[in-house]
Chains A and B, each alone.
Chain A
Amino acid sequence: MAEMQVEDKGKKGKKPKQKKHATRVDLTPMVDLGFLLITFFMLTTSMLKPQTMELTVPTKDDVKDEDQNKVKASQAITVLLGKENRLYYFFGAQENGVDPELVLTDYSSNGIRQMLVKRNSEVVNNVNQLKLDKAARKISEEDYNKKLSEYKAAKSAPTIMIKATDDSNYKNLVDILDEMNICSIARYAIVDITPYDLGLIDKKTPPAK
């Protein structure tokens, strides 16, 4: 439209001095502005959304002392988070006054994970196979989720009790919860540490010099 008007005026010749203006505008400043704003948005945004780990704990009213002891000793593994990233575990519970053997390990993949995978081998194998199937698109998402929870609920799966001492830190807790995920363990609980467990750790740790 603007161009038309310019031409009209030129033809009429009323204003001979007026030059034919090019309708093209120099866009360089606009580009500058555009990129400036892009830079601003790129720097202020957080593109990566953080991940979350879902955790459900029972309400206090639901938990009774009798329930806590219901875990079968043969399937129970107690994991104790100690200070300075130390990690201990023992199987079962005290029997006839004999203390279970406390093993010192760490958070690496050769540490606690090896033990958990060994203990939970049936489930881990099943789940791995399932994941391969899913990757090869042999099964649907729905079936996958259904079977996953089915496998995880297997009777042979161990029950883990996570007991953190006051000297452990949040990273330790997240790490151990993460191991539960990695090792496909569905039955685990964060339990308050007892003086008995602390005693076991004390016996295991060499006295400070």
Chain B
Amino acid sequence: MSNHNHDAHAHHGDHDHHEDDTPHGSLYDYVVGFVLSVILTAIPFWLVMGKVIDDKTVLSLILLGIGAVQIVVHMVYFLHMSPKSQGGWNLMALIFTLVLVVITMAGSMWVMYHLHSNMMPMPVNMNSMP
């Protein structure tokens, strides 16, 4: 197994980089990622616990936006995602998964929302409908 790490660099061709070539960050990367995460975690908690914004829709959108940014921060600084890792396969798999996740989430919410808006409020004049 240990041989694999050394003789199987098919697309690198040279052996003079890392001993094990999984991408890893420096201390700087981890600290930057951590500081950004703390800020991006503190802001949404402060917004909700301090009742800073009254409009619930705006607040929800801000929370989702900050959450998305923080996920990207984690991906880059902690999971060391880059377009080059594993020859691009990591990113390809991630994009494919994200497409499926968006279809699942948005699709379920959309379909179920329509189902509810068509079924739940039981119009009073239902009997008069054809």
Q: Do A and B bind each other?
A: no
